[in-house]
Amino acid sequence: MAKRIGLVFVIALIALTAFAVYRNVLADDSAVRAMAETLAHDTCHDCKATRIEGKRGVLSESFEFTMQNGASIAISCRRPYIAFGDYACTATKR
């Protein structure tokens, strides 16, 4: 019985990991990119991005915007529960 519970737990953990990888790394992230770009432009008023770098991971997605005036803005986006919930983004001006 304990072996069966352990096996079910391992299978559930693997399934959750696969779902998180699909949802956070492989799925379309155009809405998150648009949200990050809007936040970058709201942080640096009347600035135009000249360079955008992005990095996707299982736990978060991050962007680095280099603006026309030389300012650099880092955006970090995360889901509240790893693979569930809507992304929330925060900006840091560098």
The residue extents of the domains of the chain are 2-93
How far is residue 20 from each of residues 2, 41, 60, 69, 71, measured CA to CA in Å? 27, 29, 11, 37, 33
pLDDT, average across residues 59-74: 93
- The closest of 75, 81, 41, 82 to 61, measured between CA atoms, is 75
Give tens-digit pLDDT for 27-37: 999 999 999 99
**pLDDT for position 7:** 96
pLDDT, average across residues 22-43: 94
